[in-house]
Amino acid sequence: MKIALAQLNPTVGDLPGNAELIAQAGGEAREAGANLLVTPELVICGYPPKDLLLRDGFVAACDAAIDTLAKTLDADLGVLVGHPTKRGVPTGQIANGVSLLHGGKVQTTIQKYLLPNYDVFDEQRYFREADDVTPIEFGGLRLGVHICEDAWWGDPATFYHQDPCQRLDPITRLVQQGVDLLINLSASPFEITKPQRRLGILRPHAEKHGKPLLFVNQVGGNDDLVFDGNSLVLNAQGKLVQQLPGFESSLQYVDTNHWGSPLTPVDAAREDLLLEALTLGLGDYMRKCGFTDCVLGLSGGIDSALAACIAARAVGPEHVHALLMPSRYSSDHSVDDARVLADNLAIDWDIIPIDAVHTAYEQTTVIGDDLRQQPAGLADQNLQARIRGAMVMVRSNHHGWIALATGNKSELAVGYCTLYGDMAGGFAVLCDLLKRDVYAVSRHINTLAGKEVIPEHIINKPPSAELAPDQVDQDTLPPYPLLDDILEGLIEHEESVASLCEKFPPETVRWVATRVDRNEFKRRQMPPGIKLSERAFGSGRRMPMAARINH
């Protein structure tokens, strides 16, 4: 049997558009002589559909879209398509299903058994757990079709390994019923270690059972998640024999009579993975929300420089607009650096000094008195950031451009950012990128280009908000290498303060931990951004704001 693997980029909620993606892939697959097309999990509605699933009529519309799609496809082509369904489930419940479409109709539907309910996953809120898993017969083969998490049984990072007696292993159960090959339809979001981790999860299934395994993953950005694709095929010995590209739609084929020679897995560099995820995430967020252009403040610092580079890669430099907004404390080199960067990227830019507006605030009654009592103090520094944020938003509102916030994860973690100032915007490009990765990705961009896209002076100079005389970040923060190590332990590994105090200066650890906890209210108000790590600020990390936490 010739099987087509369709790594597709659906838009959440766009049932006609997603059905068209499947139909186009089906047409190409049939022309290539394929017998079966495999698509990702919940592809008809896009993943994650979230509370759209609770909206009256939405799941019924998904079922209807599947019926219509079956009639439009070539009758000789089998298609495995993921969708939510109310069919074959108790009244009032929903299943995460996969249907086999063939001969103009739905032949059979299977349901997801393991429903993830951790990190960004909330599937037990919506779906019922399947009663069992059963093979699908097609083209003379018994297919062990299962859905995403069903392959993660026993993984130490999930809860299924803790009490496996309460849940069956879906793949073992399928093999016990007699299958010729295993097929996993997934919507598995990107994390920096996820491509290698997936291979480590899937390979033992093929090795243990001696069955080839096909893994088809969604690609594209939806809200704060990026799906990296990287679909793959393992032979019966667990050897990788086919790998679809990362971060792009793709249609490739495998012949069950000739699985092909083993391939050596290629581990992409960390910086390259991050850059691709950031580019795809921003580009898809803009496209799927209906934005063609974006605007951001360009300070001459490394964060806004990297954000501008990613925007130019994502939507094209002609769609990126920068504002250079020097204050009375800005250095000449910051303006010069920002101009060089903008010219290197060929993006549109304007200079708008903020001192006149700043002075107007100082001359205002009551507020002016507060500002004059502490020149360049906290209120005055935040005011300058908010003036800049307001100017960016004026351009955003007038032209319909999305405003980009440029703060990184290190700053957001400890609250070194200004609400309604540098945090203002519709999308926070770097919000899950620690400062060390900001530097690493910036250098990587220059390496890829073979020239200075981001001026070396921007990369090498001490970071500064330039909101007070001779200000640098390290006046307020620990050195970034130390800060990032502590933050990685606190946030991404959930290490205790006590254990971190054994590795790093205790006073610094306690200061960082306190700042992280006290600034949850700021992060709750930040724009959405792209999840890159296992523990990103956003939908997967749920911390209290009004709390008293002792360290």
Q: Which element (helix H / strand E) includes 230?
A: none
pLDDT (mean) for 332-351: 94
Is residue 112 flagged as an active site residue?
yes
Q: What are the distances in angstroms from CA 445 to CA 220, 226, 279, 450?
A: 21, 20, 12, 9
Give me Rg for the CA atoms of the chain: 26
User: What are φ and ψ of residue 21, in 5° steps?
Assistant: -60, -45
- pLDDT above 70: residue 164: no
Query: What pLDDT, on the 0 to 100 scale, is given for residue 538?
Result: 85
| Proportion of the chain above pLDDT 90, given as a percent | 86
Encode 390-399: b = buried (16+ Cβ within 10 Å), e = exposed: ebbbebbeee
Q: How confident is the model at residue 474 (pLDDT cuts 50, 70, 90)?
A: confident
Virtual torsion, Cα 117, 243, 432, 225, nearest 10 deg = -50
- pLDDT above 50: residue 490: yes
pLDDT (mean) for 476-480: 90
- pLDDT above 80: residue 161: no
Separation CA 99–CA 179 (nearest Å) = 17
Least confident range from 70-84, 165-179, 295-309, 337-351: namely 165-179
Q: Which element (helix H / strand E) includes 262?
A: none
pLDDT (mean) for 451-456: 94
Q: How confident is the model at residue 163 (pLDDT cuts 50, 70, 90)?
A: low
Q: How far from each other are the two terminal CA atoms of the chain, in whole angstroms?
A: 61
What is the residue-wise DSSP string for 50-103? GGGGGSTTHHHHHHHHHHHHHHHS-TT-EEEEEEEE-TTS-TT--EEEEEEEET
Separation CA 37–CA 26 (nearest Å) = 7
* 3-class SS of residue 170: helix
Q: How confident is the model at residue 545 (pLDDT cuts 50, 70, 90)?
A: confident
pLDDT tens-digit readout, 358-380: 999 999 999 999 998 888 889 99
pLDDT (mean) for 265-270: 87
- pLDDT above 90: residue 349: yes
Q: How confident is the model at residue 462 (pLDDT cuts 50, 70, 90)?
A: confident
Q: Tokens representing 114?
A: 């393991």
Separation CA 334–CA 340 (nearest Å) = 10
Separation CA 46–CA 50 (nearest Å) = 10
- pLDDT above 50: residue 224: yes
Question: Nearest CA to 215 among 223, 203, 225?
Answer: 203
Query: What pLDDT, on the 0 to 100 scale, is given for residue 156?
Result: 62
Is residue 148 flagged as an active site residue?
yes
CB 331 within 8 A of CB 359: no
Which domains, and CATH codes, for the chain?
2-257 (3.60.110.10), 273-524 (3.40.50.620)
- pLDDT above 50: residue 162: no
pLDDT (mean) for 257-280: 93
- pLDDT above 70: residue 291: yes
Given the residues 41, 123, 191, 466, the one annotated as active site:
41
pLDDT (mean) for 203-227: 96
- For tokens 């001490």, the residue is 462
Given the residues 45, 62, 148, 294, the one annotated as active site:
148
Given the residues 45, 112, 194, 294, the one annotated as active site:
112
